[in-house]
Amino acid sequence: MIESQKDFVQKKETLIMKGNLAAAYAAKSARVQVISAYPITPQTTVVEKLSEFVDNGEMPGTQYIKVESEHSVFAAVIGASKAGTRTFTATAGQGIFYAHEMIHWAAGSRLPIVVSIASRGAAPPWNIWADFTDVISQRDTGWLSSFCATHQEIYDEILMSYKVCEDPDILLPKFIAYGGFILSHTSKPVILEEQHLVDKFLPPLPSEEGWPHIWIDPKRPMMFGNLIMPSGFYYEFRMKLHDAFIRAKEKIKSVAKEFEKTFGRDYGNGLIQEYKMNDAEVGVIIYGDLALQMEQAVDDLKEEGYKVGMVKLRHFRPFPSEDIVEVAKKVKLLGVIDRATAFGSQTGGPVSCEVKSALHNTQGTANILPIINGLGGREVTLDQQKNQLKMLVKLFETGEIPKDIIHGTLWDGLLEVE
Amino acid sequence: MVKLKDALESCQEEYFLPGNSCCAGCGLEIALRWAMKALGHKTALVTPASCLNVVVGLWPKAAPNFPFTNMAFAAGAAAATGISAAFKAKNYRFPGKGWDEITTITFAGDGGTADIGIQGLSGAAERNSDQIYVCYDNEAYMNTGIQRSSSTPHGAITTTTTLGKERYKKNLPAIMAAHEIPYVATCSISEPLDLYDKFKKAKSINGCRYIHILAPCPPGWGYQSEDSIDLARLAVKTGSWILYEVENGIMKLSKKSKILLDPTKRIPLIDYLSKQKRFSKISEKDLINLQERIEKNWDQINLELKCQENYGK
Amino acid sequence: MTDSDKWKKINKSVKERPKVQEYKNWKELPPIPISLPIDGSMGTTGDWRTFRPIISDGCNQCGMCWMYCPEGVITRMEDGSFKIDLKYCKGCGICAKECPSNSIDMIRESEIKDD
């Protein structure tokens, strides 16, 4: 072990902490080397906690860059990652939109950057509460993205993500999104793992050279990212990004398995997590914090005799089409619940569009009802979720169309002021 | 202070390999050539969108024989901050491998510095990011075909100011000096050895250093390629481009500009402007106005230098 | 379906890596576009010239042409004289203009009879 690494003395402990702090602790456990920071609600406490760690000496050698905008946050992290270090940052909502240019750049540069996102709604109107539109809007940039339903999952997903992203055959950046204020500012117990076990699962960067691949080294000068004519390999370089995504599916599954073996926490197959789908007739696909509450709704309804189940979608990119097809063969009707928008698409909800296209060519799979709820942090209660399930069951059994269907999608929970 | 005959001995290596696609007589190329002679191999260069991005060749060939990263337009200074931080982080974990000896440098055009890049540059300067930020000033957006930037001087014709620019040139070195960074300097390609000295000095200082180089552009300014050095020299001799350094707040004029403290030594501005087609529409009134501004600027410099003397600095 | 190993050679030392990368298809490509430094990245730019600089006998080897050449194609030889690399010289004329002893002539290419 290198001298400097003896300073990390995280022991296994369970602390009660907010979701944002779980992200900060995960970055510390992952031994990130460069962090760039800019505040934005609701992720600010992530970078505040990291600043505390760095100033306290709990992350020796880590460079903490206080930049002046989110565009620069991503630019700094891209530069640092290119030079061969493990990097981390956090942002949300408007910050992602401002940095959009650099988000494309990071993916095209194939840099394994991990960013935690405390998702918030898009402005205008101003909104700082849970809504995954910000992450989903980056779907075509070439970043992997996943959603967290629990505080523990934030910590675990960050550790798993570095392992996936830094694989020499993958090399893609990743967003880890969780609901702003719902997970970021509520407290739950989170298990922090022992450092040497984390180091075994996720080794610090192995040699003084950093990545086993391209980097900035005066002994071997090279130029990165210059012009390529249309007749040159531009098309092929971009195509390789998609190829890496498809390979990432297998890697995510194998890392999730390894994580379970090392730390004992199970996250389905990594891409999706099924819950009581085996004897269900009607199911829902759901992601984010609402998935946790939906488990309770499924349990309650099963006690009443309903045959329902749910699938927690963990990764949006790469989209687990094969797993969704298998799940859709188990039930007759699937509700796909989005907490984000895809304006002008066939359903208005991004995940429901992806599910529909995944099932396109397959026979014997469930019908789909797209559902959207909870935009801009609108509260979705347990009762509301139970009603969603009941409504789906009714639709399946009697064919009764729910009353809030607008343009083919159920916009659940729209206000009607008396 | 390096002399030509010493430079001939010690600076034979070319870091920016010939056969690239710079224009014949390109001011940027001379600036980069001498900057790299001063900085040497252990340099990581970042360049936001500018002429420099494009002249370095098409994939898979490259002209620079040192680590070179192309970067998005507004992201130059921030990316360099990230790179220099990464070297520090690597040096902590793997000391003794020379990671702390690498100079990070951002080489941006005037558009990428004064306009779209100024937020990033101001941020980098405020946090004293450890990099040398170099602005090579060809006084317009030359890569995209000669559009005006905030660094274009008053009266210059560009494709977006076809009657001559109305506003005046943004004084970037003064803005950077106001950020209180350790080192600010201005250079001209007509004094390559002065440029070399300033880069050598910058290399030895830690923190944010800013160097602004006047780099004439033959197609953009409207002159024959052989006159690049001559024009840069005239810019200095008329007193419109002042060579100076500000080190820890103390301003010091460089040799070729110091003699111009005596107004009789300055040559008339018209000698400089008349050689460039981009000033063909400039009026008599404008010329008098511009000449007056130069005189006023020099009066202010005189005052500043006296003030420095009075405070025993 | 993993990346082909052909591109990993560019990670090696300057001596071991290829001078110019050559790939047949997307499978052989590295994940990101990396370019390696080489002379003549834009081809033989000497073809751009309309006028060729020729150093005449009046040269007193002061080195000003070497200092001002933008392309860096003027090199000092062992005996102190200066030679212009005509393969890459773009014919900008700066050397001729700046020569203090007017010892560089710019001769029109079409008038030069090559042996």
Chain C residue with the nearest C-alpha to that of A239: C26
pLDDT in tens, B68-89: 999 999 999 999 999 999 999 9
Same domain? A253 vs A282: no
Does B1 contact chain C (CB < 8 Å)? Answer: no
Q: Are B30 and B189 in contact (CB under 8 A)?
A: yes
Q: Which domains does chain B have, with CATH numbers?
A: 4-310 (3.40.50.970)
E strand or H helix that includes residue A134: helix A133-136
- What local confidence, expressed as pLDDT, does residue A3 receive? 47
Does B62 contact chain C (CB < 8 Å)? Answer: yes
Candidates B57, B67, B79; nearest CB to A222: B67
Whether C1 has a pLDDT exceeding 60, the answer reads: no
- What local confidence, expressed as pLDDT, does residue C6 receive? 73
Q: Mean pLDDT across the stretch C30-49?
A: 90
3 state DSSP class of A371: strand
- Structural domain contains residue C82: yes
B90/A33 touch (CB, cutoff 8 Å), yes or no = yes
Q: Mean pLDDT across the stretch C33-50?
A: 91
- What local confidence, expressed as pLDDT, does residue C30 receive? 87
pLDDT in tens, A37-96: 999 999 999 999 999 999 999 999 999 999 999 999 999 999 999 998 999 999 999 999
Candidates B42, B66, B82; nearest CB to A75: B82
The structural domain count of chain A equals 2
Tell me which of A243, A263, A283 is where a domain ends. Answer: A263
Instruction: Determine how β-strand B131-137 pairs with β-strand C104-108.
Output: unpaired
Does A324 contact chain B (CB < 8 Å)? Answer: no
Candidates A75, A226, A227; nearest CB to B79: A75
Q: B161-186 burial, b for 16+ CB within 10 Å, e for fewer?
A: beebbeeebbebbebbbebebbbbbb
**Subunits touching A (CB < 8 Å, at least 3 pairs)?**
B, C
Instruction: Determine how β-strand B68-70 pairs with β-strand B43-47.
Output: parallel
Candidates A2, A105, A216; nearest CB to B83: A216
Sequence-distant (6+) residues with CB within 8 A of A308 are A276, A280, A281, A282, A283, A284, A298, A301, A302, A389, A392, A393
- Structural domain contains residue C57: yes
Q: What is the ipTM, given to two decimal places?
A: 0.93
Distances (CA, A) of B266 to B237, B255, B294, B298, B301: 6, 14, 10, 11, 15
The structural domain count of chain C equals 2
Same domain? A156 vs A79: yes
- What local confidence, expressed as pLDDT, does residue B245 receive? 96
- What local confidence, expressed as pLDDT, does residue A376 receive? 92
Chain B residues lying within 8 Å of C65, measured CB to CB? none
The sign one gets for the Cα dihedral A210, A212, A217, A219 is positive
A217/B80 touch (CB, cutoff 8 Å), yes or no = no
Same domain? A112 vs A245: yes
Edge to edge, the sheet with strand A315-317 lists A63-66, A34-37, A87-91, A114-119, A174-179, A144-147, A315-317
Tokens of A141: 């940039």
Q: Find the farthest-apart pair of alpha carbons in chain C and give their distance in angstroms, rounded.
A: 66
- Structural domain contains residue A418: no
Same domain? C31 vs C71: no
Same domain? C49 vs C33: no
Q: Which of B59, A207, A273, A182 minimizes the C-alpha distance to B70?
A: B59
Candidates A79, A85, A224; nearest CB to B81: A79
B89/A63 touch (CB, cutoff 8 Å), yes or no = yes
- Structural domain contains residue A234: yes
Same domain? C31 vs C87: no
pLDDT in tens, C58-99: 999 999 999 999 999 999 999 999 999 999 999 999 999 999
Same domain? A217 vs A358: no
Task: Give the integer Cα–Cα distance in Å for C37 and B36.
Answer: 15
- Structural domain contains residue A123: yes
Same domain? C69 vs C100: yes
Candidates B82, B89, B119; nearest CB to A78: B82
- What local confidence, expressed as pLDDT, does residue A211 receive? 63
- Structural domain contains residue A73: yes
Q: What is the dihedral of CA A352, A353, A358, A360, to 10 degrees?
A: 110
Chain C residues lying within 8 Å of B22, measured CB to CB? 70-71
- What local confidence, expressed as pLDDT, does residue C53 receive? 95
Task: Give the integer Cα–Cα distance in Å for A387 and A404.
Answer: 13
Does B228 contact chain C (CB < 8 Å)? Answer: yes
Same domain? A115 vs A173: yes
Whether B295 has a pLDDT exceeding 60, the answer reads: yes
pLDDT in tens, B197-244: 999 999 999 999 999 999 999 999 999 999 999 999 999 999 999 999
pLDDT in tens, A406-417: 999 999 999 989
Chain B residues lying within 8 Å of A33, measured CB to CB? 86, 89-90, 93
Sequence-distant (6+) residues with CB within 8 A of B41 are A218, A221, B15, B66
Instruction: Supply the angle between the helices B228-237 and B27-39 in degrees, to the nearest 10.
Output: 80
N- to C-terminal Cα distance for chain C?
Answer: 56
3 state DSSP class of B80: helix
Which residues between 357 and 396 in chain A have a beta carbon less than 8 angstroms from any beta carbon of chain B? Answer: none
Same domain? A135 vs A19: yes
Residues (pLDDT < 70) of chain A are 1-8, 206-214
- What local confidence, expressed as pLDDT, does residue A8 receive? 62
Task: Give the integer Cα–Cα distance in Å for A412 and B152.
Answer: 56
Same domain? C65 vs C25: no
Sequence-distant (6+) residues with CB within 8 A of A245 are A142, A144, A172, A317, A318
Q: B117 to chain A nearest CA, in Å?
A: 10
CATH number of the domain enclosing A190: 3.40.50.970
Tokens of C35: 């370019």
B86/A80 touch (CB, cutoff 8 Å), yes or no = yes
Q: B238 to chain C nearest CA, in Å?
A: 19
Q: What is the dihedral of CA B297, B299, B301, B302, to 10 degrees?
A: 170
Same domain? A256 vs A336: no
- Structural domain contains residue C115: no
Instruction: Please report, as a single letter, which amino acid is at residue C12.
Output: K
Task: Give the integer Cα–Cα distance in Å for C51 and C111.
Answer: 9
Please name the residue that has the structure tokens 């501004």. Answer: B293
Chain C residues lying within 8 Å of A84, measured CB to CB? none
Calculate the CA A174 to chain-centre distance.
7
Same domain? A234 vs A360: no
Same domain? C50 vs C32: no
C contact set with A (CB within 8 A): 1-3, 8, 10-14, 17, 23, 25-26, 29-37
Task: Give the integer Cα–Cα distance in Å for A215 and A39.
Answer: 29
- What local confidence, expressed as pLDDT, does residue A2 receive? 46
Whether B301 has a pLDDT exceeding 70, the answer reads: yes
Chain C residues lying within 8 Å of B7, measured CB to CB? 63, 67
- Structural domain contains residue A122: yes
Whether C2 has a pLDDT exceeding 70, the answer reads: no
A222/C2 touch (CB, cutoff 8 Å), yes or no = no
Same domain? A96 vs A50: yes
Q: Are A109 and A224 in contact (CB under 8 A)?
A: yes
Q: What is the dihedral of CA A287, A292, A296, A299, to 10 degrees?
A: 60
Chain C residue with the nearest C-alpha to that of B9: C76
- Structural domain contains residue A417: no
Same domain? C56 vs C106: yes
Same domain? C55 vs C91: yes
Same domain? A298 vs A372: yes
- Structural domain contains residue A346: yes
Same domain? A105 vs A223: yes
- What local confidence, expressed as pLDDT, does residue A7 receive? 61
Q: Mean pLDDT across the stretch B237-256?
A: 95
Whether B112 has a pLDDT exceeding 60, the answer reads: yes
Chain A residue with the nearest C-alpha to that of B58: A227
3 state DSSP class of B201: helix
- What local confidence, expressed as pLDDT, does residue B311 receive? 83
Mean of per-residue pLDDT scores for chain C: 89
Sequence-distant (6+) residues with CB within 8 A of A178 are A19, A116, A117, A118, A119, A147, A148, A153, A154, A184, A288, A289
Tell me which of A216, A237, A263 is where a domain ends. Answer: A263
Chain C residue with the nearest C-alpha to that of B24: C92
Same domain? C21 vs C56: no
What string of DSSP letters covers A187-216? EEEEEEPPHHHHHHHSPPP-STT-SSS---
Tell me which of A263, A281, A314 is where a domain ends. Answer: A263
Same domain? C9 vs C60: no
Which residues between 89 and 148 in chain A have a beta carbon less than 8 angstroms from any beta carbon of chain C? Answer: 108-110
Does A237 contact chain C (CB < 8 Å)? Answer: yes
Does A1 contact chain B (CB < 8 Å)? Answer: no
What string of DSSP letters covers B15-45? SB-SS-SPPTT-HHHHHHHHHHHHH-SSEEE
Please name the residue that has the structure tokens 């969780």. Answer: A178
Range of the domain at C87: 45-110
Please name the residue that has the structure tokens 């000095």. Answer: B201
Same domain? A343 vs A208: no
- What local confidence, expressed as pLDDT, does residue C32 receive? 84
Tokens of C83: 């030679």
Mean of per-residue pLDDT scores for chain B: 94
CATH number of the domain enclosing A327: 3.40.50.920
Range of the domain at A394: 272-411
- Structural domain contains residue A229: yes
Q: C111 to chain B nearest CA, in Å?
A: 20
Tokens of A1: 């072990």
